[in-house]
């Protein structure tokens, strides 16, 4: 309980820094480019168009509203992917800061996550525009995107803290996560509908054991099909997420002041 209290008081104290640092990072990403902030919009559109073309036309896919289907999947996936990849090298990447001042280390992750949330937000808006363009019937269930995403965020944050810690200790972790993420990517049904393509145990396992696949599937349900998500599943992943956060906070609190010695 002491850890939780300390966590929230730290978040309160450093949240403003995290926001400012996130803004600074976003600004600096586009500071020198000619099209400047337009890149935040152009980039997701281009990637999604490429994927839609390749998987929709070349590999022929008959899923309804396929482009929207892919856009929603990718939006969820990109956030998950960025959080995991980003956290592994987070401490080493902020060597300058870590070795010179004390900062609760999850603030680095918090700040990073804000930049990802911003990009995810844009990606969602792009998706929404496309849905209107494709005349997807929009039902009020779309509002449930918020809790589904909140759960994904908590889950990624917890996992991120744990990976952040082991990323300091284990040099190969970045390579391992890259491979693992690639596998999860293809098993998450970004380009295909797990519920249609796969049957039986495989479908059951993938949708339940893979949080990325689960979130994507639920996001599509509420956005495209106007269905309610699986509340039971959401509760399950919410619990897992809280548990991971709890473990992550404990690990970080215990070890964070030793990171400066290692990197």
Partner 1 sequence: MKKSKEIAVTVKDLHISYRGLKKTSIRASWNKLKDKIEVFEALRGVSFEIEEGKILGIIGKNGSGKSTMLRAIAGIFSPDKGSIDLHDNSISLLSIGVGFNKKLTGYENIYLSGMLLGFSEEQIKEKEKEIIKFADIGDFIYKPVKTYSSGMHSKLAFAITAILETDIMLIDEVLSVGDAKFKEKSYNKMKELISDDKRTVVIVSHNSSTLKELCDEVLWLHDGKIKMIGEPNKVLSEYEKFMNEAK
- Taking the least distance from each CB to partner 1, the nearer of 38 and 138 is 38
Report the distance separating Cα 223 and Cα 225, nearest Å: 6
Q: Are 161 and 109 in contact (CB under 8 A)?
A: yes
- Taking the least distance from each CB to partner 1, the nearer of 17 and 231 is 17
If one asks whether residue 114 binds partner 1 (CB under 8 A), the answer comes out as no
- Taking the least distance from each CB to partner 1, the nearer of 62 and 171 is 171
Candidates 237, 16, 18, 238; CA nearest to 106 is: 18
If one asks whether residue 100 binds partner 1 (CB under 8 A), the answer comes out as yes
Candidates 140, 130, 155; CA nearest to 212 is: 155
- Taking the least distance from each CB to partner 1, the nearer of 176 and 243 is 176
Report the distance separating Cα 186 and Cα 9, nearest Å: 39
- Taking the least distance from each CB to partner 1, the nearer of 13 and 197 is 13
Report the distance separating Cα 168 and Cα 123, nearest Å: 31
In the complex, minimum distance from the CB of residue 32 to partner 1, in angstroms, rounded to a whole number: 7
Site for partner 1 in 210-229 (CB under 8 A): none
> CA–CA distance from 53 to each of 47, 56, 135 (Å)?
10, 5, 19
If one asks whether residue 187 binds partner 1 (CB under 8 A), the answer comes out as no
If one asks whether residue 99 binds partner 1 (CB under 8 A), the answer comes out as yes
Q: Which conformational region is residue 107 in: left (phi greater than 0), alpha (psi within -120 to 50 degrees), or beta?
A: alpha
Report the distance separating Cα 153 and Cα 262, nearest Å: 29
If one asks whether residue 178 binds partner 1 (CB under 8 A), the answer comes out as no
Report the distance separating Cα 89 and Cα 168, nearest Å: 7
Choosing from 1, 101, 143, 179, the residue that interacts with partner 1 (CB under 8 A) is 101
Give the helix/strand (H/E) hosting 67.
Answer: helix 66-88
If one asks whether residue 258 binds partner 1 (CB under 8 A), the answer comes out as yes
In the complex, minimum distance from the CB of residue 14 to partner 1, in angstroms, rounded to a whole number: 8
x-or-dash pattern for partner 1, window 12-51, by CB under 8 A? ----xx--xx--xx-xx--xx-------------------
Number of residues this chain uses to bind partner 1 (CB under 8 A): 31
Per CB under 8 A, residues contacting partner 1 are 16-17, 20-21, 24-25, 27-28, 31-32, 96-103, 168-172, 255, 257-263
């Amino acid at each position: 309980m002491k850890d939780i209290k300390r966590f929230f008081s730290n978040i309160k104290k450093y949240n403003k820094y995290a926001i400012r640092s996130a803004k600074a990072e976003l600004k600096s990403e586009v500071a020198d480019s000619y099209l400047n902030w337009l890149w935040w919009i152009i980039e997701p559109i281009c990637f999604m168009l490429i994927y839609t073309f390749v998987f929709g036309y070349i590999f022929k896919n008959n899923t309804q509203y396929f482009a929207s289907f892919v856009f929603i999947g990718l939006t969820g996936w990109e956030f998950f992917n960025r959080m995991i990849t980003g956290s592994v090298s987070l401490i080493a990447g902020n060597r300058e800061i870590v070795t010179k001042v004390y900062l609760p280390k999850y603030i680095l992750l918090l700040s990073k996550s804000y930049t990802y949330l911003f990009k995810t937000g844009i990606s969602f808006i792009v998706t929404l525009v496309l849905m209107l363009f494709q005349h997807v019937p929009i039902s009020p269930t779309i509002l449930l995107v918020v809790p589904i995403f909140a759960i994904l965020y908590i889950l990624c944050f917890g996992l991120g803290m744990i990976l952040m810690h082991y990323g300091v200790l284990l040099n190969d972790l970045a390579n391992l996560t890259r491979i693992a993420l690639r596998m999860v990517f293809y098993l998450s049904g970004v380009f295909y509908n797990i519920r249609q393509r796969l049957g039986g145990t495989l479908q059951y396992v993938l949708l339940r054991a893979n949080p990325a696949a689960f979130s994507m599937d639920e996001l599509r349900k509420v956005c495209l099909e106007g269905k309610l998500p699986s509340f039971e599943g959401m509760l399950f992943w919410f619990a897992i997420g809280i548990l991971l956060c709890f473990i992550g906070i404990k690990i970080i609190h215990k070890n964070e002041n030793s990171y400066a010695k290692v990197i």
